[in-house]
Amino acid sequence: MNAIRRYLRPEQIRELSLIVIIILAVLFFATQIENYLSARTFNRISTSIAIIAVVAVGQTLVVLTRNIDLSVGSIVGFAAYFSGQTLAANPDLAPVLAVCVAIGFGAFLGLINGVLVAVGRIPAIVVTLGTLAIYRGILVDWAQARTITTEMMPTWLIDLPRVNVLTMGEVEVRIMVALALVVVILFQLALNYLPLGRRLYAIGSNPDAARLMGLPIQRTILIAYVLCGALAGLAGFMFLARFGTITVTAGAGLELAAVAAVVVGGVNIFGGSGTMFGALLGAIVIGTLEQSLLRMPQVSEFVRDALLGLFILIAVASDAIIVKGLREAWARSGRLKSAKTTLAPATAKEVKRA
Amino acid sequence: MKKLFVGLLVLTLILAMGAASAQDVVVAEPGQEVNMILLPKFLGIAVFDEANQGAQEAHAELENPGTLEFLGPTAENSVAGQIEIVTTAASRDDIDAIMISNNAGDQLVPAVEAASEAGQAVVTWDSPIPSGAGEALFIAQVDFDETGRVMAEMARSILGEDGGSFAILSASPDAANQNAWIAALLEVLEEPEYENLVLLDTVYGNDQTEESYNQALALVDQYPEMELIMAPTSVGITAAAKAMQDEGLCDTVKVSGLGLPSEMIEFTLNGCAPEFALWSFVDLGYVTYYATYLLATGAMEAEEGVTFEAGRMGEYTIEADPTREEGLRIVMGPFSVYNIDNIEEAVGGAMEEMEATATPGS
């Protein structure tokens, strides 16, 4: 019982409530949209969230430390453009190297953010709001209004979005979706088991305590930004492969989508709590709502965004209520158990006083 | 006899007037100093850069000792940025003329009115001020009604004589030019010979690749009978074509609309977008520059019936804009329709042209 209790902490099963919300949303849309419960819907939603999920994982790393990275949209766009340009100039470049170019470039931009935030001690929202505009501005200048077109790209890249790693009937798991899942799982494991992961939580939940413990706060925050940039770079490569035609507007607005996914996914914006699976579920919630609303003929262009906002609010609010209920239930079961323990009443009181 | 004489006299007069009006073509006198701003919808997009190339070409040709600034907002800040740039320009004494591709609808009116009141020549190109207020002249790339007809014809040539159903993927719901083209297309569809073309829906991708891509797939899911997506925007058309290619739908759902040959060549060669159209943005920038130079130097008034010469592009006559309630325009034209037969040549030709303009004097 104790073991179950330890694993079923409300913070850890709050993802369950998001899954419930996703199921409710799918059931609702199934009554509204013809042929909704089909493999095609799964394929559409899964491919549409692959990029945002990768960006959201990076964002989560930063948000866990009580910071934020608003420049990820520009990093995605710049990395997409830069890796596209590199591939156009070197069409024979090995695919792995092309991915590394995008990741490395993103990590470099992330490093700049990290240095300014961790070493320069400038508030993250100011730094990354600035670099959001600066990176995009440099991209506009760098690109000289030249578009990266599908024609310049090697065939393997253009065909990449069509590659399936798993096909079950009509349900397809595309390579981009698989890649996003791998990223989520790897970083979730890193959060759970690597010292770095634990440090992110420690710094976010109590920076003063973390400092007293002698944790390398600056270095950890710096690493979080570099990783966030690297993941945005990877997302940039995925963006290039998916859309093929890259202009200077690529990835614009992704930062808000990523922050939304992270927040909906239950990652605390004030740091210290949240998981990668939560961020992924947040991305799935938003992706499901967005893609489904697009397919409702009675929803016009003009009300769609408002409805999307409303649904996100409902999702977050009901999530909060469900989690609160779970937490109370957990606390109640805890009290019951402590009443059953063999501790003498006096000792229990002393413990309480302490 | 007397009647014959009078008749001859009248005839002579008419001929003389005809000759006079032929001489009335306003021709630019090079070397005058005019400081100008060319304002695109936003920076970093190939078509606007091409317009700038054309304007720079005219700037060099007219030996204008003044400046030609290519100023624009970033894409995500287009509307507010345009208003800001025009407002700032209006208060600058050193600026004589502004050339605007309007992306802010009538929200730009107070700013352009301030600029006109400050004595600056305000000329719009590519996309006008919808109400015509504050603007001297609009340089239309093509006749907006013709855009509707060209789209209808491409739809028919792709769908065949039996017709079929299609949907429109546009840019933003408040882009004046796109809305005018769609309205013109709807009018053409009323004609009996186009009655077998059925328009299912109009959706907007806001000139964002990702949004346009998702919208295109949503159209496919919603309308199984759809055989064509018509996207009158260079961002939308490539996104839709890539979406159809990724989902292996190019055999059943074709893509057409307005696009850049250099961005579309792959999709035209592989059959996803067999036919699309566009005009030359280089020429549009060039003609816009000439008209603006003439207005700013006082050589020409923006009035109906005035004819002017725009260098290598020839003569244009100012007319009332039939697509708006108020406002004057000239129509540049023509449309180029691209398909598998001419696209490789067009892309090759554009490359040569770019190289030629890159080395001035050659």
The gap from C-alpha A293 to its chain's centroid, in whole angstroms, comes to 21
Give helix A195-205 / helix A217-243 axis angle, nearest 10°. Answer: 110
Question: Residue A90, Cβ neighbours under 10 Å: how many?
Answer: 13
Low-confidence spans in chain A with pLDDT less than 50:
342-354
Q: Residues B327, B332, B336, B337: what is their CA dihedral angle, to the nearest 10 degrees? A: 20
Residue with tokens 């190019």: B250
Under an 8 A CB cutoff, do B214 and A247 touch? no
Task: Please tell me the predicted confidence (pLDDT) of residue B254.
Answer: 97
Structural domain boundaries enclosing A319? 2-353
CATH number of B144-278: 3.40.50.2300
Average pLDDT over residues B133-156: 92
Q: Any idea where the domains of chain B sit in the sequence?
A: 36-142+281-331, 144-278
Rounded to whole angstroms, how far apart are CA atoms A171 and A326? 34
The gap from C-alpha A138 to its chain's centroid, in whole angstroms, comes to 25
Average pLDDT over residues B41-52: 89
Residue B136 parent element (H or E): none
Report CA torsion sign: B206, B208, B209, B215.
negative
- Name which of B209, B211, B223 to mutate to probe chain A: the one with the most chain A Cβ atoms within 10 A of its Cβ: B209
Q: How far is the alpha carbon of B75 from chain A, nearest alpha carbon, in Å?
A: 6
Q: Per-residue confidence at B348, pLDDT binned at 50, 70, 90? A: confident
Q: Which of A244, A147, A234 is nearest to B261 (CA)?
A: A147
Q: Per-residue confidence at B334, pLDDT binned at 50, 70, 90? A: confident
Residue with tokens 């030359």: B280
**Looking at chain B, which residue has its C-alpha nearest residue A254?**
B210
Q: For residue A254, what are the CA distances in angstroms to A84, A235, B297?
A: 19, 10, 46
Q: How far is the alpha carbon of B212 from chain A, nearest alpha carbon, in Å?
A: 10
Under an 8 A CB cutoff, do A301 and B245 touch? no
**Looking at chain A, which residue has its C-alpha nearest residue B221?**
A295
Q: For residue A77, what are the CA distances in angstroms to A28, A136, A285, B55, B208?
A: 35, 8, 24, 29, 12
pTM given for the model: 0.84
User: pLDDT tens digits for B276-309?
Assistant: 999 999 999 999 999 999 999 999 999 999 999 9
What DSSP assignment string belongs to B62-120?
A: TT--S-EEE----GGGHHHHHHHHHHHHHT-TT--EEEE---SGGGGHHHHHHHHHTT-
The rounded mean pLDDT for chain B is 88
Under an 8 A CB cutoff, do B43 and A248 touch? yes
**Looking at chain A, which residue has its C-alpha nearest residue B270?**
A151
φ and ψ at residue A128, rounded to 5 degrees: -80, -25
Contacting residues of B for A246, CB less than 8 Å apart: 209
Rounded to whole angstroms, how far apart are CA atoms B104 and B111? 11
φ and ψ at residue B170, rounded to 5 degrees: -100, -175
Domains B36-142+281-331 and B144-278 share a fold: yes
Average pLDDT over residues B63-91: 92
Q: Which of B237, B230, B232 is nearest to B263 (CA)?
A: B237
Q: How far is the alpha carbon of B10 from chain A, nearest alpha carbon, in Å?
A: 58
Q: Cβ(B128)–Cβ(B150) under 8 Å?
A: no
- Name which of B201, B266, B281 to mutate to probe chain A: the one with the most chain A Cβ atoms within 10 A of its Cβ: B266
Task: Please tell me the predicted confidence (pLDDT) of residue A309.
Answer: 85
Task: Please tell me the predicted confidence (pLDDT) of residue A329.
Answer: 81
Rounded to whole angstroms, how far apart are CA atoms A101 and A286? 30
CATH number of B36-142+281-331: 3.40.50.2300
Contacting residues of B for A138, CB less than 8 Å apart: none
Of B44, B48, B217, the CB nearest to A249: B44
The ipTM (two decimal places) reads: 0.85
Domain with residue A187: its CATH number is 1.10.3470
User: pLDDT tens digits for B193-234?
Assistant: 899 999 999 999 988 899 999 999 999 999 999 999 999 999
- Name which of B47, B53, B74 to mutate to probe chain A: the one with the most chain A Cβ atoms within 10 A of its Cβ: B74
Q: Which of B118, B188, B139 is nearest to B287 (CA)?
A: B139
- Structural domain count, chain A: 1
Higher pLDDT among residues B107 and B17, named by residue: B107
